[in-house]
Amino acid sequence: MGTARHPGDLPELEPGFNALTDSLSAHSPERRLLLAAGAWSVYRMAGAVPTVATAPPEPCEPDARATCSLTGRALLQQMLDGKHPELLPVVFARMHTASHKLPPGLLPQALDLIKPPLRAALAPLLGPRARWLAQFNPDWQWVLQPAPGSIKTGLPADVQQRFEQADLAERPDLGIGADGDEGR
């Protein structure tokens, strides 16, 4: 039923709100209805109780690696958008060799890659920002998993360097055999 057939009275909603809609009687029924609908929407939003804010997440660890050039960023964007995606593993490997990081603006798009070979090529390039972002998106949890084929040894991170610098007699004390394998 349109407003021409309706008597034009607005429904009783709430006492404070009805006082406001009573002042609309000078307008046409259509305008009165639209103004009342807009006012009711604002009235409801103004009375909403905000949700309790959670503590902001800890900031991401800094990544000291340099970002690729603007030209490199533009080319990488094109590849992530589907133009010559077969070159992505080569680009990722070269960026890793040059100690470059992905531009922060392209990181979410790179983390959305779903093909395992592309993820494997991307993994060495990822830094603390990727691990930080992964906690907020379940689809990016693969970043937090060890790379396929990698083995968690439980040894300190600097053990390889200490092993290479140690005398043969000192190597067993490091928990590593003379051939570089973990101690048995």
Instruction: Kindly state the helix (H) or strand (E) to which residue 28 belongs, with its residue range.
Output: none
- pLDDT given for residue 76 in this prediction: 95
Match 């010559």 to its residue by tokens.
Answer: 84
Q: Which two tokens stand for residue 151?
A: 């083995």
**Average pLDDT, stretch 75-98?**
94
- pLDDT given for residue 158 in this prediction: 67
Closest C-alpha among 11, 17, 9 to residue 43: 17
AA identity, residue 75: L
What are the DSSP calls for 41-88, one per residue?
HHHHHHTPPPPPPPPPPPPPPP--SEEPPHHHHHHHHHHHTTSSGGGH
pTM of the model: 0.54
Distance CA 161, CA 127 (A): 22
Q: Where are the domains of the chain?
A: 66-144, 153-184
How much of the chain exceeds pLDDT 90, in percent? 46
* Residue 114 pLDDT exceeds 60: yes
Distance CA 12, CA 178 (A): 88
Higher pLDDT, 71 or 26: 71
Distance CA 51, CA 82 (A): 40
CA angle 65, 84, 115 (to 5 degrees): 75
* Residue 184 pLDDT exceeds 50: no
- The mean predicted confidence, pLDDT, of the chain is 80
